[in-house]
Homo-oligomer: A and B are copies of this chain.
Amino acid sequence: MIRVTVLYANKPGGKFDFAYYTNKHMKLVKEKFGPMGLVRTEVDKGVGGMGAGAPPQPYVALGHMVFNSIEDFLKAEKVHGGALGADVPNFTNIEPQFQISEIVA
C-alpha cells in the first residue's frame, strides 16, 4: 500500500478553508479516485496554541490518500489530476507539496 500525502505549508498570509476541503474537495477526491484504487483518505489539521512561545506547526493541513499501488495512483492522477488541481484555489492559496510513500510498517 502507498500513501500520497499532500502537505500545505504554514506560511504568512496562507489561507485554508477546512470546511470546503473536507466537505467538498475530499468528496471530489473520493468520487474521482474511489473507482481507481483509492482505499481511504484522512485529513490532518495542524494544531496551534501549544503554549506561549511555541513555534507554529510546519503544516496547516495534510491530506492523506492511501492507494493499493503506485501504478493505481499514477493512473488516477493522469485521468483526474487536472480537475482536482483546478479545485485547489477554492480552498487555499498555499501551493500543495506531494509526498509519495510506501507504507512499510
Interface size range on A against B: 20 to 34
A99 to B50 Cα, complex, angstroms:
12
Task: Enumerate chain B residues within 8 angstroms of A2, measured Cβ to Cβ.
Answer: 47
Cβ distance A26 to chain B, nearest Cβ, rounded Å: 6
Contact with B along A84-105 (1 / 0, CB 8 A): 0000000000000111111111
Looking at A26, A58, A97, the one whose CB has the most chain B CB atoms below 10 A away is A58
A41 to B45 Cα, complex, angstroms:
18
Question: Contact: A100 with B45, CB < 8 Å?
Answer: no
Known: A45-B101, A62-B101. 13 other contacts (CB 8 A): A22-B104, A41-B105, A42-B105, A43-B104, A43-B105, A44-B103, A46-B99, A46-B100, A47-B70, A47-B102, A50-B100, A58-B97, A62-B99
A57 to B99 Cα, complex, angstroms:
6
Q: List 30 A-B contacts (CB under 8 A).
A: A3-B44, A5-B44, A5-B62, A7-B58, A18-B104, A22-B104, A22-B105, A26-B105, A41-B105, A42-B103, A43-B103, A43-B104, A43-B105, A44-B101, A44-B104, A45-B101, A46-B99, A46-B100, A47-B101, A47-B102, A50-B70, A50-B100, A57-B99, A57-B101, A58-B97, A58-B98, A58-B99, A59-B99, A59-B101, A62-B99
